[in-house]
Structure 1
Amino acid sequence: MYRLLIFILFFQTLCALDVNEEIPYNELLSHTEIYIDHTQSETMDTIGNKTFKANDEYILGFGYSPKFDVWIKIYLTNISDKPVKKIIEYENPLTSYITFYEADTKKLLLVDGLLNTNIDRSSIHPNFEIILQPKEQKTIYLKAYSDITTLIIKLNLWNPETFHAKEIRYQVVLALFFGAMGLIVLYNFIIFLSTREKSYLYYVLAFIGIIIYYLLYKGVANLYIISPVTMSNIIEYSAFIVAIPVFFLALFTQSILDLKQYPYINRTLNYYLVIFPLLTIIVYIFDFNQYRSFFSVLLLFMLMIITFYALLNNNRQAKFIMAGWLVFFTSGLFMFLSSHGIYDIFDTYPHYTEFSLLIEAIAFSLSLADKIKQLQQSKILLEEKKLLLKELTHRVNNSLQTIISFIQLQKDEINHKGSQLVLQNIENKVFAINDLYALLNTTDNISSVNANDFFFSIITNIRKSFYKPKVTVKLDTTAELNSDDAVYCGLILNETLTNSYQHAFNDTNKGEITVSLHKKKGIYYFNIKDNGIGYNTKGATDSLGMTIIETLAIIQLEGKLNIDTTDGLETSIIWKDNG
């Protein structure tokens, strides 16, 4: 028994951490012992009988909501000849419940944790102060448990002055970080209000979600913003807190990279974005906390691969997005390595995560600014093209007017009635095209034409060419035509009206011609009908006028042509809007 006591004392001496006022900081966890309570039934009355194992890791990670308690035994020895005051810091604000006890007296030293409703501290991380008398050795127990959040344990031992100085610096850096992130988000939101570009909206929503997540992750929210009771309620929805910013990052990436130009990739991403909320809901309903981040991380990897593909395909915005993703993923990798005790970059660069998020926000914001710049340049080029096209239209209009003048001069010099009629028909055809260009000159939108104005101009020219005051023309149209279809329809109307005026009515008969054009569900219905004498369609199929109508209706408009001579002449054309 004596030997066993000697061994225990010797083993405790090996694990004990020697402290004095001269050492401002000690990493504590690697000088402790650990016991895993899988039954979650141990208390201070029973834990002293359990066998602890020596721990040499400076950080311990147990994943999301492990189903056990972790007990840590801490040995501290004051090697100086005067009392020493120290602060023990538990460097993780996300652990659900932590409790510190003094081993000898079983005194409760600290009750804290994310879900503890009685937090009373001004520091980000849980901590408490202890005093070691000269040459005193003190044993302290830590009990840690997480039922929703991650269980990551890291312990530090500080001199009070050093701890408070460190805490002030840390909180100032966090304040600057959240302030910078907030300003970037506000700036992009103001731009969204002025541009209504949806990429900006997705950016704003994504980074608002990231800010909220990071406020919770760093323990700032429950310390300064929300009460511990509210925090315990919010944390129940942690699956959504993780998923929402990732979801909007995906929409932002899809929009800024214009993934519609990559149909297969865009379709695959859309499928995942549909099932992603469903998977999140399943994780929440069935309490699969260990898989809470899995689908979000999978989506982030998918977005990084998509961005890399876009970069290879010379997507201009992809270089900004890729830079942001690389910094973001290095941060995630370092957090993983740190939580598993493999490599802790945060000892050297404690604010690398904040730096990486800020760089990502700036990179993504630059991609938005570059996209807006490209859109503005495209808009300027488009305006220049419109001006050039208008100038070209104006010149074509002048040229057609010159041609019409030549035809009129030629017509005036010819006395042969048949020749005059031929020239008149040619003049009307040129007038129809000229009217279209004249109409395009008066509108800002040169891609479409108001059919009512265009047809009215053609009808007016035809009525002037053939003086038959007893023939009336009724026009009924509510549709607009693209400029190509307008040319074909104008020529068809000109040819049909000319035929009606020449052959359907004599000089004494009253007559009526109706012209209608309507569009229903992407289908145009063009109808020209007169109540004249009609004609024999079999004998007229070889005429030039009918050839022109058939060519324009069937080949150019790709429509269906129907001619009915039951009661006068009715020409009907149906075609799809290909504009």
Structure 2
Amino acid sequence: MKKLLKMIKYSMLKLLLLFLMPFYLFAIDINEHTQKLALLAQSSIWIDDNNTLSKNEVVSKKFEKCQKNALALGYAPHRAAWIKFTLRNTSSVPLVKILSYEHPLTQSVSFYEGKTVQTSGFWHRKHDKKYFLPSFKIKLQAQEEKTFYLKVHSEFTTLVAKITLWEAEMLKQRDDNILYMIIIFLSIVFTLLVYNLVIYFFTKDKAYIYYILYLLAMLLAHSFRSSIFPYFLLSDETTVMLTQCISIIHALFIVSIIMFTREFLDTYSFPKLDKILKFYLYYIVISSLLTCYHLVFDMRIMLSYVPLLLVLMFAGFHALHHGKKEALFYLIGWSFIFLAILSTPLRSLGFFNIVAHISYPYTMSFILEAFFFSFALAYKIKALHKDNQNKQEQIISFQKEEQTKLEKLVEEKTKDIHMLYQEKGLLYQELNHRVKNNLQMILSLVKLQISTASSSGIKEALGVTKNRINSFATLYESMHSQEDMKHLDTKTHFTNIINHIMPTEDKHITIRYRIEHNLQESALLYAGLIVNELATNAFKYAFATSGTFSLSLTKEQKTVTFILQDNGKGFEKNKNDTLGLSIVRTLVEKQLYGTIEIDTSQGTKITMKWEEND
């Protein structure tokens, strides 16, 4: 019996608690000591699926308990969330608190207090710039209890609900901390931007320019999404317009990181992987244009970015596997941004709200990523510098090896040439010796023929022939005995010829030489024959008992002038040329390509001229 009474008593107590719960469970007690209080877990929520109901219509709806300090409702452009909470001032003095909506990107936040409504949010900061985040002032008299409603709606961003009740001074400190963090982040990114820009001007590496574009897109996106621009610079109208085109900034961000990845990891050497990245380049540009002003928007577009993150991570591992050590820094840096970006669609879909667990997750991820990417670029430059040094050392070593081989080859060839030269010298000496012997043999035969000839005419003809052969032999003897065969001693050669044909009896002839130029070998041969012919004729016909025979050889610029003159009796020019004179004329005109003039007014003077190159 006692047990039954106990059960009845317990059941009545339970019913009493259920009856009193609506009056006490949803009332949140605050007092003058309340500085910061998360309200959402103690509030109730109702979702307007079409965003069409007014506050009076919503009041009668059945709200559900939140039980969470932050609620991610995902991307819901046509829905509105209504949050209901009741505050009770348990103190004996009036209270003034600030209600802060803790998500800066929420498009519209309407606060209802009785019949009064205030609107703030990302698109409505014109009259709400005292605090960094959308905020509303709440006043409660001593022991007063009030119920409040919040309507939140976001057309272009994810719908995230988090509300906190603040003491005004403490909220101001919180705002200062947020601003400090954002300014530090932007300063770091801007410093990295300038630093990499300077390096680009020195290296001209395309990876740096793409990374600079990436940092610039990061600056713009973060300044906008963190409410820096709307809070300090932009009007509500401009903010609305930029929000509707925010996908273009995101596209610049993603395109620049793809281009950076292609250039930094050299994916051009991996054709299949590079084709995938090129496909995403076009896809990102097209999808970003289509999502402007809600022309086309689907959560599947956001989800399609997730494979890109995996592709970029795979590119890093693939490059690292193929020996690109700088890819390790890329992977470490990209892993931070990978987790941050991956959490965005998860947060948009309402699966996981990273902000509820980590303060400033995106800011910290981007800072860490930016540092590691900068380390990666610096490591790449260092690796390239080291690689260039190694290549230079290899080139120098190769040049030394080739120089050694070349020197050895030159030495071998020089030895071969020297041996050939020696062989040529021996052959040349042998040839000279045989030619000289042959000429001497011919002269001996002619002399023998002269000594045995009975007719004086035959002896005379053979004597002329002997003198002509002797002219050749004399020149050959000079060439054989002199090292410089290009400029033989012309006077010596002429003297040898004259001495050989000079009559030894019954005539006294004076020879005068004016030789101011040494002829080249080819011209000297013909000049010797000319001297032989003209001197023979002069000695034989010009003088009865005595006379003077002169030889003059000069050169002015390129013209050689050769004059042979005697003071004898001369001869008649109108007669046909003798054999000797015909030989002379042929040698001058056909061999030396010169001219010949004969003057017999005072003895005989024969002037010959031709061109000779140096």
State the TM-score, normalizing by the size of structure 1: 0.66
The answer for the alignment partner of 1:82 in structure 2 is: 93
Q: Distance in 1 between matches of 2:305 and 2:179?
A: 29
Aligned-partner residue type, residue 81 of structure 1: S
Match of 2:74 among 63, 67, 72: 63
The answer to whether the 8 Å contact 2:334/2:369 transfers is yes
Cα deviation, residue 211, structure 1:
2.0
Q: Secondary structure, in 3 states, of the residue corresponding to 2:304?
A: helix
SS in 2 for 1:81: coil
1:206 matched to which residue of 2?
214
8 Å Cα contact 2:159-2:348 kept in structure 1? no
Tell me how far apart the structure 1 counterparts of residues 360 and 166 of structure 2 sit (CA, whole Å). 19
| Equivalent of residue 42 in structure 1, options 45, 50, 53 | 53
The 1:293–1:345 alpha-carbon spacing in structure 2 relative to 1, beyond 3 Å, is closer
1:226 aligned residue: 234
For 2:309, the equivalent position in structure 1 comes to 300
1:338 deviates by: 6.9
CA distance in 1, matches of 2:236, 2:128: 10
Change over 3 Å in CA distance of 1:350–1:358 after alignment to 2: same
Q: Where does residue 365 of structure 1 map in the other structure? A: 374
Matches within 5 A, 1:190-269: 190-269=198-277
| 2:189 aligns with one of 166, 178, 181 | 181
Pairing partner for 1:128 from 136, 154, 158: 136
Distance 1:333 1:400, change over 3 A: closer
Question: 1:90 is matched by which residue type in structure 2?
Answer: Y
Alignment correspondent of 1:114:
122
Q: In 2, Cα distance between the equivalents of 1:203 and 1:155?
A: 37
Q: Deviations over 1:180-214 (max 9, x none)?
A: 11111211111111111111111111121122111
Report how far residue 317 of structure 1 moved: 1.3
1:21: how far off?
1.8
Q: Distance in 2 between matches of 1:347 and 1:24?
A: 20
SS in 2 for 1:49: coil
| Contact 1:20–1:78 under 8 Å retained in 2 | yes
- Report matched runs for 1:53-452 at 5 Å: 53-103=64-114, 106-108=115-117, 110-116=118-124, 118-284=126-292, 286-288=295-297, 290-291=299-300, 293-332=302-341, 346=355, 349-414=358-423
**For the Cα contact (< 8 Å) 1:59–1:339, is it kept in 2?**
no
SS at match of 1:124: coil
- Per-residue deviation at 1:351? 3.0
Paired amino acid for 2:190: G
What amino acid maps onto 2:379 in structure 1?
D
- Deviation track 1:406-442 (CA, whole Å, cap 9, x = no partner) reads 23323334469999xxxxxxxxxxxxxxxxxxxxxxx
Give the distance between the partners of 2:249 and 2:200, measured in 1 at CA.
24
The CA distance in 1 between the partners of 2:212 and 2:305, in whole Å, is 19
- Kindly tell me: are residues 219 and 361 of structure 1, through their superposed partners in 2, closer, same or farther at Cα, counting changes over 3 Å? same
Whether the 8 Å contact between 2:210 and 2:256 is mirrored in structure 1 is: yes
What residue number does 1:26 align with?
A: 37
Q: Give the partner amino acid of 2:94.
A: P
Query: Where in structure 2 are there 5+ consecutive unaligned residues?
Result: 1-16, 429-614
User: 2:532 matched to which residue of 1?
Assistant: none
| Contact residue 117 and residue 228 of structure 1 kept, 8 A | yes
Do the aligned partners of 1:83 and 1:131 also contact (CA within 8 Å) in 2? yes
Unpaired runs of 5+ in structure 1?
1-5, 420-579
| 2: CA distance, partners of 1:142 / 1:224 | 25
State the alpha-carbon separation in 1 of the partners of residues 90 and 22 from structure 2: 17
Q: What is the letter of the counterpart of residue 90 of structure 2? A: I
CA distance in 1, matches of 2:338, 2:19: 46
2: CA distance between counterparts of 1:276 and 1:50? 42
SS of match in other structure, 1:98: strand
Q: Give me the whole-angstrom Cα distance separating, in 1, the residues matched to 2:301 and 2:346.
A: 19
C-alpha distance 119-150 of structure 1, shift in aligned 2 (>3 A)? farther
SS of residue paired to 2:374: helix
Contact kept in structure 1, 2:72 and 2:353, CA below 8 Å: no
Q: Distance in 2 between matches of 1:372 and 1:307?
A: 18
Shift of 1:384: 2.0
1:142 Cα deviation from its structure 2 partner: 0.9
Conservation of the 8 A alpha-carbon contact between 2:70 and 2:356? no
How far residue 313 of structure 1 moved from its aligned partner, in angstroms, is: 4.0
- Cα shift at 1:340: 7.5
Deviation per CA, 1:354-376: give whole Å up to 9, x if none. Answer: 22211110001000000000111
User: How many residues are matched?
Assistant: 411
What do residues 4-40 of structure 1 show as CA deviations (whole Å, max 9, x unaligned)? Answer: xx98974143112111122211111122222222232
CA positional deviation for 1:258: 1.9
Per the normalisation by structure 2, the TM-score is: 0.62
Counterparts in 2 of 1:362 and 1:308: CA distance versus 1, 3 Å = same
Deviation per CA, 1:208-244, whole angstroms, max 9, x where unpaired?
1122111222212211233322111111112222222
Change (3 A) 1:136 1:121: same
Query: Which residue in 2 is equivalent to 1:459?
Result: none
Letter in 1 for 2:109: I
**8 Å CA contact retained: 2:107, 2:155:** yes
The aligned residue for residue 556 of structure 2 is: none
* Worse-matched range after superposition: 124-133 or 262-271: 262-271
Shift of 1:70: 1.6
**Paired amino acid for 1:196:** K
What SS is found at the alignment partner of 2:310?
helix
Shift of residue 349 of structure 1?
A: 4.4
Q: Distance in 2 between matches of 1:88 and 1:37?
A: 22
Cα displacement (A) at 1:389: 2.8
Alpha-carbon contact 1:242-1:293 (below 8 Å) kept: no
- Structure 2 CA distance, aligned partners of 1:300 and 1:98? 33
- Give, in whole Å, the separation in 2 of the partners of 1:232 and 1:32: 30
Q: Secondary structure at the match of 2:146?
A: strand
Deviations 1:71-111 (A, max 9, x none): 111211111111111110001111111111113xx112x21
Which deviates the most, 227-236 or 332-341?
A: 332-341
Structure 1 residues 294 and 243: alpha-carbon distance in aligned structure 2, compared to 1, 3 A threshold: farther
Question: Percentage identity across aligned positions?
Answer: 27
Structure 1 residue matching 2:159: 3-state secondary structure: strand
The one-letter code of the counterpart of 1:326 is S
Q: Is 335-344 or 386-395 further displaced after alignment?
A: 335-344
Report if the CA contact (8 A) 1:243-1:296 is conserved.
no
Are the counterparts in 2 of residues 188 and 200 from structure 1 also a CA contact under 8 Å?
A: yes
CA distance in 2, matches of 1:8, 1:235: 48
Deviates more, 1:220-229 or 1:268-277: 268-277
Contact 2:287 2:301 (8 Å CA) reproduced: no
Shift in CA distance, 174/8, structure 1 to aligned 2, threshold 3 Å:
farther
1:339 to 1:129, Cα distance in 2 relative to 1, 3 A: farther
